[in-house]
Amino acid sequence: MMSSENRSDFSASCSSISEEARAKINLALHVTGRRPDGYHLLDMLVTFADHGDRLDFMPSPTDEFTLSGRFGETLAGDGGTNLVLKARDLLREAIGPLAFPVRIQLEKNLPVASGIGGGSADAAATLRGLMRLWGTSLPEEALAALALKLGADVPMCLASRPLIARGIGEKIEPVPELPVLAMVLANPLKGVSTPEVFRRLATKNNPTLRLAPSLRGTADWLAAIGAARNDLEPPAREMVPEIAAIAAMLQAHGALLTRMSGSGATCFGIFATMAAAEDAAAALHDERSDWYFQATETVSGGA
Query: Looking at the annotation, which residues are catalytic?
Result: 24, 153
Look at residue 18 and give its three-state secondary structure.
strand
Q: What angle do CA 91, 18, 44 make, to 5 degrees?
A: 70
Whether a cis peptide bond, with omega within 30° of 0, leads into 265 is: yes
Q: Among candidates 124, 91, 166, which has minimal Cα distance to 23?
A: 124
List all residues 6 or more positions away from 168 whose beta carbon is below 8 Å from its beta carbon: 35, 39, 40, 41, 42, 152
Residue 153 and residue 203 in contact, taking contact as beta carbons nearer than 8 Å: no
List all residues 6 or more positions away from 278 whose beta carbon is below 8 Å from its beta carbon: 295
Question: What number of other Cβ atoms are within 10 A of residue 204's Cβ?
Answer: 13
Backbone torsions φ then ψ of 76, nearest 5 degrees? -60, -35
Distance of CA 207 to the CA centre of its chain: 24
The whole-angstrom separation of Cα 156 and Cα 21 is: 12
Question: What number of other Cβ atoms are within 10 A of residue 74's Cβ?
Answer: 15
